[in-house]
Structure 1
Amino acid sequence: MRVLLTGSSGWLGRYLAPLLAENGHEVTGLDVVPGAHTQVLGTVADRALIDRTMGEHGIEAVIHAGALHKPDIVRYSRQAFIDVNVSGTLNLIEAAVAAGNDRFLFTSTTSLMVRDDVRGGAAPDGAWWMDEDFGPLAPRNIYGITKLAAEQACQLVHREHGIAALILRTGRFFPEDDDTLAVPSGLNLKANELLHRRLTVEDAAAAHLAALEAAPQIGCDTFILSAPPPFSRDEAGDLASDARAVIARHYPEAEAFYAARGWVLPDHIARVYDPSRAERRLGWRAKTDFGSVLAALASGTPLPFAHDPDYTSPIVAQESDLCMC
């Protein structure tokens, strides 16, 4: 299948493009900055470029993974977020319909589910259990607002034209340090997050491949992508009050492995992402979870996730290079 992949120079794109190619797909990458998997330079906000690319490359399916993200809020206006995240998504799915494509994937984010009260801590009765039916949705910044609007645009075009449109709300998979959380940080934080809100970039790429194959049979649906949490809903209260005790029930060895590394387990977990719908409907389950971390700590092998505190997104790197000229 001839696939248009936006965001092909980004973190996900560098893993997803070769995975698609390995599975027999012909990939055309589109991004605003050059990259190893990018053939078309330009913005998704340029409808003429999108139409031309669809025709010249005979595109049969679109994976829209390009976007302005939360860290870009300090660099770009709200209008830029609307142009790229909303208008760009509409440009792509309308062009896909015009080209006769039968499937469209939209890479969204669990961030749009994090309202102010969710951001502030646990629910009154325990940790927020966040599946695709969680609501009401009230994104707290322009990033979340535009991603939610783009999701709704995909659903609208599906209803009107029948194109299969799958929305993939990814948990965290970025390699750099968190821009707001400092303690714990780095590897310790990423390991902790695999309990409830993170997945590896490799697993994110694999989920997109599974969704591409399943889309025509599903039609339209939304999926949370995260490592499977070891917890159940009835543990939500205990997670909010004493997460270490809950973790010890599932992984009694965790405390000792963490202590040997100088790490700390979370005292409280305020929200848990539930990816079970993706397993049921897409046949996808993240290969890396918290148990994978403990296995690596036990064996002394490398940790099963990427961590690069110096990672800079391609668009930021390009802007820095221009400023230095």
Structure 2
Amino acid sequence: MRVLLTGSSGWLGRYLAPLLRGAGHQVTGLDVAPGADTDVIGTVADRALIDRIFSERSIEAVIHAAALHKPDIARYPTQSFVDVNVTGTLNLLEAASAAGHDRFVFTSTTSLMISDAIRRAEGDRAVWIDETMAPLEPRNIYGVTKLAAEHLCRLFHQERGLACLVLRTGRFFPEDDDTHKQPSGENLKANELLNRRLTVEDAAMAHLVALDRAPAIGFDTFILSAPTPFAREDVAALKADAPAVIARYFPQAAALYAEKGWVLPATIDRVYDAEHAERVLGFRAATDFGSVLDALTADGPLPIAHDAAYVSPKEQQAARQTVSG
């Protein structure tokens, strides 16, 4: 299948493009920055460019992973988020519908499910988050525009019969968190596999599965995260004393963490439940918190990618343009 992959130079794209090719697909990569898997430099906000790619490349399916993200809020105006995240998605949906496509995979985010109230974590229990949670009240322009794009996908399925799967991915970025400083690096990422993170490899595999399953499903929204060990009944205890709850599921965790000089989370304020993706999409992340403990036990490589110096190709290019200008 001839697949248009947007965001092909990004962190997800560099893992997803080879995976698609390995499955026998012909991939056309589109990104605003050059990269090993990018064939066309440009923005999804350029409708003429999108139409030309569809015509010249005979595109048969779309995986739309390109977006402005939460860290971009400090760098780009609100209008840019609307142009890229909303208008760009509309351009692709219009082109896919006109071409008679039977599948469209949209990379969304669990971030749009986090309101200011959830962010402040003021309650006495962790928030259990699954696809039934409502109302959704995104706390910033990133979440607002991604939710708007999700609704466009739903509308195109409803009105034009385009099979659209929305994948709300948990965290998989390699750089340090831009708001949480302690613990940092691999320690924080390992902790987050308990409740809100997945590996980039798992995120890429989920997109491959979604591409295959979209026509049979039609339309649906899926949270993507490592399978959590916790149950809904744990939410109060997780907020009050997370290490005690973790010890019930992983008695060896505290000692392994101590040997590494790491700390377990003192409290957990939210848990993403990826059961719907496992049951309906047929996808379960391969790496979870237990995988980290197995690696620590064996003194082997950790199954999480961490690069404190990572800068996206988009921002690298913007920096070069600033210097040359």
Q: Under TM normalisation by the shorter chain, which class is it?
A: over 0.9
Instruction: Give the SS at the match of 2:34.
Output: coil
Q: How many residues align?
A: 324
1:271 maps to 270
How far apart in 2 are the matches of 1:59 and 1:225? 26
The correspondence of residues 128-167 of structure 1 with structure 2, limited to 5 A, is 128-167=127-166
Counterpart amino acid of residue 166 in structure 2: I
Partner residue of 2:12? 12
Find the aligned partners of 1:108 and 1:141 in 2 and give their Cα distance.
14
What is the match of residue 36 of structure 1?
36
Match of 2:245 in 1: 246
Aligned residue runs from structure 1 range 223-242, under 5 A: 223-242=222-241
What residue identity is the alignment partner of 1:174? F
Counterpart of 2:273, as a letter, is: D
Q: Which residue of 1 aligns with 2:209?
A: 210
In structure 2, the partner of 1:93 is 93
Structure-1 separation of matches of 2:206 and 2:123 = 29
How many angstroms does 1:284 deviate by? Answer: 0.7
CA positional deviation for 1:64 = 0.2
Query: How far, CA to CA, are the matches of 1:119 and 1:304 in structure 2?
Result: 27
CA offset digits 1:42-97 (Å, max 9, x no partner): 11001111011011111110000000001111111100000000000000011000
**What secondary structure sits across from 1:166 in the alignment?**
strand
Q: Displacement of 1:324 after TM fit? A: 2.4
Cα distance in structure 2, aligned partners of 1:311 and 1:6: 20
Q: Distance in 2 between matches of 1:220 and 1:181?
A: 35
Deviation at 1:158, TM superposition (A): 0.8
Deviations 1:255-299 (A, max 9, x none): 000001111001110000001111011111100000000000010
Q: Is the 8 A contact 1:225 1:275 kept in 2?
A: yes
Under a length normalisation based on structure 2, what TM-score does the superposition of the two structures give? 0.99
Quick one: distance in 2 between partners of 1:136 and 1:121?
17
Offset of residue 122 of structure 1: 5.4
Q: Is the 8 A contact 1:122 1:128 kept in 2?
A: no
Per-residue deviation, 1:136: 1.1
> Residue in 1 aligned with 2:67?
67
Alignment deviations for residues 184-231 of structure 1 (CA, whole Å, 9 cap, x no partner): 111110000000000000000000000000000000000000000000
Q: Distance in 2 between matches of 1:189 and 1:205?
A: 21
Is the contact made by 1:258 and 1:265 (CA closer than 8 Å) also made in structure 2?
A: yes
Q: CA deviation at 1:178?
A: 0.1
Whole-Å Cα distance in 1 between the matches of residues 71 and 269 of structure 2? Answer: 23
Query: C-alpha distance in 2, partners of 1:84/1:324?
Result: 24
Secondary structure at the aligned position of 2:128 is classed as strand
1:308 aligns with 2:307: yes
Please state if 1:45 is matched with 2:57: no
CA contact (8 A) 1:129 1:272 kept: yes
State the partner residue of 1:113.
113
Deviation at 1:322, TM superposition (A): 1.7
- How much does 1:323 deviate? 2.1
CA distance in 2: counterparts of 1:55 and 1:277, whole angstroms:
36
Q: Which amino acid aligns with 2:311?
A: T
User: Shift in Å at residue 123 of structure 1?
Assistant: 3.6
Distance 1:42 1:320 in 2: 17
Q: CA RMSD in A?
A: 0.7
Contact 1:242 1:268 survives alignment (8 Å): yes
Q: Secondary structure at the match of 1:12?
A: helix
SS at match of 2:220: strand
Identity across matched positions, percent: 67
Q: Distance in 2 between matches of 1:285 and 1:62?
A: 22
- Cα-to-partner distance string for 1:168-196 (whole Å, 9 max, x where unaligned): 00000000000000111111100000000
Query: Aligned partners of 1:323, 1:45: CA distance in 2, in Å?
Result: 22
What is the one-letter code of the residue matched to 2:76?
Y
TM (normalized to structure 1)?
0.99
AA aligned opposite 2:156: V
* SS class of match (2:251): coil
Unaligned residue ranges in structure 1 (runs of 5+) = none
**Which residue identity lines up with residue 72 of structure 1 in the other structure?**
D
Contact 1:122 1:269 in 2 (8 A): no
